[in-house]
Structure 1
Amino acid sequence: MSLHELSAVELLQAYRARTLSPVEVLQATLAHIERWEPRLRALYAFDPEAALAQARASEARWRRGEALALDGLPLTLKENIASRGTPAPLGSAATVLQPAAEDAPPAARMREAGAVLLAKTTMPDYGMLSSGLSSFHPLTRNPWDLDKNPGGSSAGAAAAAAAGYGPLHVGTDIGGSIRLPAGWCGVFGLKPSLGRIPIKPAYAGRVAGPMTRTVADAALMMGALSRPDWRDPTSLPPQDIAWTALRRELRGLRLGLQMDAGWGLAVEPETAAAVQAAARLFEQAGAIVEPLQAFTTRSMIEGLDRFWRLRCWLDIAALPAERQDRILPYIRDWAAGAAGIGAAELFHGHAQMAALREAAVSACQPFDFVLSPVSPVPAFKAEWASPINDPQRPFEHIAFTLPFNMSEQPSASINCGYTATGLPIGLQITGRRFDDLGVLQLSAEFERLRAPQQPWPQP
């Protein structure tokens, strides 16, 4: 196995045994990126020399016996996670670029743990698309099929993880932005409970989370990422959680299986078959699987759509005309639909976040965990903004993911199969609020149950 393909767990074992060094691992990873990146375009602010300096410092710490928790592990961060000295364009050509004054909490925690930041990763304008399409970044593509989209908004993070740009990647998620690209790129992505991983800026539904090739690597990251930070007023109090204790008894667990979200795109047959087959594996291992009926409605989503359109429109309308013109046309068209919304409609739209939260928590309460598709459809055309590419119907593909942002529940994507053309299919595993470890454990058990995976894509 090539060095860039080794997991974080394997690399730490090799560093401890002195059979590998952070410098040689980073050099191998950089060489692999050079082969992939001209076509994949997953990275922003790629700085090999700065990364090599970090790797040399890590190597020195290992030699002195002073290694940190994640010392010498190659890392990428989504570009909207501020890192000191690097501008955050937020995926948009309309952004005025200014170096970040400080690390946001996820960047600070990973730096403190000794991870080697080799680059930031791409995202669409303002993170408002499930796509690798951006007015600032080049088009990011899916390594499984370069004619397909990696999804978003953590587009570059998912593509980088699937392509083998090192083991550790951090994305963000407000409606599916970790889980959707993770599902479409065949990697593991965890959207933690709101407040589990401190983030800045913090607002309703927004979280940061790990994106990796294995569940164990994501669990390893959680030990650092979940440390508290006062700058996030929604952050949870410190807890002593054994993040790497990933075994879970499946016998007797009650699992809900949701195959109908109540609105949005219909689940395509290949996706349905893969998710149902995953549920049968849990059943064969002793879990009790029962159907979970749809619990969200079209009116909830239309209200939420109006609220987010107006929020985005107010930001866009405040920009000078020449900067407005630089925003991706799809985003401008979507947001402009809110120009005439009044106060009553806005209030009703905002209230749908609470309605979604109550519906999701209530529906999931009878179960230990809930299984569902991540997306009803596999990866779509690389140049499209969404699976249907229609700004007037922007949320049709996020019916399974969005509710769990509003309900603040932990939810993960893990690969459960492939289409006839070889595209990954994501299984969503959702737990009760604050049971992030349980979601990791169930995901790790599924990782052991599932069939051998197809080889990772190569440049």
Structure 2
Amino acid sequence: MSYPRALHEWSAPALIGAYRRRELSPLEVTQSVLGHIERWEHRLQALYLLRPELALEQARASETRWLRGAPLGPLDGVPVTIKDNIATRGDPTPLGTAAVELMPATADAPPAARVRESGGVIIAKTTMPDYGMLSSGLSSFHPLARNPWDLRLTPGGSSAGAGAAAAAGYGPLHIGTDIGGSLRLPAGWCGIFTLKPSLGRVPIDPPYMGRAAGPMTREVVDAAWFMQVLARADARDSMNLPPQQIDWETFDQGADRLKGLRIGLLLEAGCGLPVDPEIRAAVAQAARLFENAGATVLPMKPFMTQAMLDGMDHFWRMRCHVDMKALPSARKAQVLPYIREWGDSAASMNGEAVFRAFSQFHETRVRTVAACAAFDYVISPTSPVTAAPADHASPTNDPMRPLEHIGFTVPFNMSEQPASSINCGYTRAGLPIGLQIAGRRFDDLGVLQVSRAFELIRGEQRPWPQPPSEAVDHVD
């Protein structure tokens, strides 16, 4: 039979439906994804531990289960990639840096365990920068990851490879992590969708303040489908939310979901880099679409301050400094120089300075919750700027000003609120522009529903980037 799109572009629900009807085999879908990767990966460099033979082995096992009518779960036979820092049993977890001693993980971390239990076909791990501390694909361990929309540019980070893989069509489902914007920034710069869930909604190991794992996909439907697996409880995460029956399949309520909503429009972060005029215009146009669909959109005053952003930056510097002090000197020397300079800048901080820096996390939480209380949802730019050059560690490329681009994203990590990023337009140069949609704490399903409603009203999207053999190669 003929298919409307190449198999590597099919959504997860469409694949499961085709498997159930025996119209498709997980083996032929995996072969399609691997073939597409072969055409793209030599330029994108999004993947780590790409082992086609293991992926095909998983696909054959899935095919057998479907032929018996006994799939393991809603991911059985669906291709998935998993970020480097999410442990997979038997594989090393380098955390993006050459400084880590490569030892096989003894167990799957919770997101990987849920994928394996549900029969997902793990195609590969995805790349990230050193310790996940950059909004870039620059790494001392992995090759430099690039943005499929323009290979001269970064895909963002720290879920760099996952963002690039999703935009390039390496199958429908990808898992990343986020502590200040590491899901949403690459999503925004790669034109894809992501959900940073409420803290604890998707269990992770090790858990950490503000750190969340979440789906990265081309379409909202895939992220919602993935959440029914990723959100299952796991006792290893001390911040795991109590088990809750959420009907993730009800996420699509159409554009009517927007009627009567009270939406806050945040066009200035209050700190960091100024918003690019093209990004401001695209987000303002998105706000008009919300209004046309029946929502009330009201402007918000910035609630973040530079002191809050700097405090979080300085505390994270100290955390990095302490981690690097524990390394033998030869291993520390292998850390990316940008990260070394950034972390070691905290060496002279005294206890009071560290306490004051840490206090800004709570201040950010309180300010964010208070600012959002009057609204059902808040929309804003995902990032104030578009993708930086691929070899830049951050948009400023300055280790003394490393977080100037996360003023819109980081507050929702600290407030534990769910926030998505969805494409809302393009620059004159053809680069994607991300719209962030944040909801109240625990309202992950609502954020998915509102994101889907916007997906329906945002207008026609540009075609996804194609491998260099089929398009202009932009690498200098």
Structure 1 length as normaliser, TM-score?
Answer: 0.99
- Select which of 275, 285, 291 maps to 1:277: 285
Q: Which runs of 5 or more structure 2 residues have no equivalent in the other structure?
A: 468-476
- The answer to whether the aligner puts 1:404 opposite 2:422 as a matched pair is no
Deviations 1:74-123 (A, max 9, x none): 00000100000010000000000000000000000111111100100000
Q: CA RMSD in A?
A: 0.7
TM-superposed deviation, 1:249: 2.3
Question: Matched residues in 1 for 2:259 and 2:463: separation?
Answer: 31
- 8 Å contact 2:84–2:127 — kept in the other structure? yes
Superposed counterparts of 1:221-236, under 5 Å: 221-236=226-241
**Partner residue, 2:29:** 25
Counterpart of 1:194 in structure 2 is: 199
Cα distance in 2 between the residues matched to 1:88 and 1:445? 38
1:315 aligns with 2:333: no
Aligned equivalent of 1:111: 116
**What is the rounded CA distance, in whole Å, between the counterparts of 1:380 and 1:394 in structure 2?**
13
Separation of aligned partners in 2, 1:3 and 1:251: 36
2:435 corresponds to which residue? Answer: 427
The 1-side partners of 2:280 and 2:309 are apart by 23
The partner residue of 1:177 within 182, 190, 194 is 182
Q: Is 1:37 paired with 2:31?
A: no
For residues 380-391 of structure 1, what are the structure 2 equivalents within 5 Å? 380-391=388-399
Deviations 1:289-326 (A, max 9, x none): 00011001111111111111001001111111111110
The letter for the 2-side match of 1:333 is E
Tell me the distance in 2 between the aligned counterparts of 1:381 and 1:244: 38
Does residue 414 of structure 1 match 2:403? no
Within-5 A mapping of 1:141-220 = 141-220=146-225
CA contact (8 A) 2:257 2:449 kept: no
Q: Could you say which residue in structure 2 is the equivalent of 1:354? A: 362
Take 2:379 and 2:311, find their aligned partners in 1: how far apart are those partners? 26
Three-state SS of the structure 2 residue aligned to 1:249 is helix
Query: Unaligned stretches of 5+ in structure 1?
Result: none
Residue aligning to 1:4: 8
Aligned length: 459
Distance 2:113 2:293 in 1: 40
SS in 2 for 1:427: strand
**How many percent identity over aligned positions?**
64
Q: How many angstroms apart in 1 are the aligned matches of 2:326 and 2:107?
A: 26
Cα deviation for residue 184 of structure 1 reads: 0.2
Q: 1:77 aligns with which of 71, 76, 82?
A: 82
Question: For the residues of structure 2 that align with 1:244 and 1:453, how far apart are their CA atoms?
Answer: 24
Greater shift after overlay, 69-78 or 240-249?
A: 240-249
What do residues 248-267 of structure 1 show as CA deviations (whole Å, max 9, x unaligned)? Answer: 52111000000011111111
User: Whole-Å Cα distance in 2 between the matches of residues 451 and 402 of structure 1?
Assistant: 28
Residue type of the partner of 2:335?
I
Moved more, 205-214 or 318-327: 318-327
Q: TM-score, normalised by structure 2?
A: 0.96
Query: Which residue identity lines up with residue 51 of structure 2 in the other structure?
Result: D
Runs of 4+ in structure 1 over 3 Å off: none
Q: Which residue of 1 aligns with 2:459?
A: 451
SS of residue paired to 2:123: strand
The one-letter code matched in structure 1 to 2:29 is: V
